[in-house]
A and B are shown apart, each in its own frame.
Chain A
Amino acid sequence: GNSVTQMEGPVTLSEEAFLTINCTYTATGYPSLFWYVQYPGEGLQLLLKATKADDKGSNKGFEATYRKETTSFHLEKGSVQVSDSAVYFCALSDPNSGYALNFGKGTSLLVTP
Chain B
Amino acid sequence: DAGITQSPRYKITETGRQVTLMCHQTWSHSYMFWYRQDLGHGLRLIYYSAAADITDKGEVPDGYVVSRSKTENFPLTLESATRSQTSVYFCASISGIGELFFGEGSRLTVL
Q: How many residues of B contact A (CB 8 A)?
A: 23
The chain B residue sitting closest to A6, CB to CB, is B42
Contacts A89-B42, A97-B45, A104-B42 given; does A49 touch B99 at CB 8 Å: yes
Assess whether A51 is interfacial by the CB under 8 Å rule.
yes
Assess whether B103 is interfacial by the CB under 8 Å rule.
yes
Chain A residues, CB < 8 A from B99: 46, 49
**Separation of A36 and B102 alpha carbons in the complex (Å):** 11
**Separation of A100 and B48 alpha carbons in the complex (Å):** 8
Assess whether A30 is interfacial by the CB under 8 Å rule.
no
Contacts A43-B104, A45-B102, A46-B99 given; does A97 touch B48 at CB 8 Å: yes
Query: Are B31 and A44 in contact, with the CB atoms below 8 A?
Result: no
Contacts A98-B33, A98-B48, A99-B31 given; does A44 touch B42 at CB 8 Å: no
Chain B residues, CB < 8 A from A102: 45
Query: Are B31 and A98 in contact, with the CB atoms below 8 A?
Result: yes
Question: In the complex, given contacts A89-B43, A91-B100, A100-B58, what are 13 additional A-B residue pairs having Cβ atoms less than 8 angstroms apart?
Answer: A32-B98, A42-B105, A44-B90, A46-B101, A97-B56, A98-B49, A98-B50, A99-B94, A99-B98, A100-B94, A100-B100, A103-B42, A106-B42
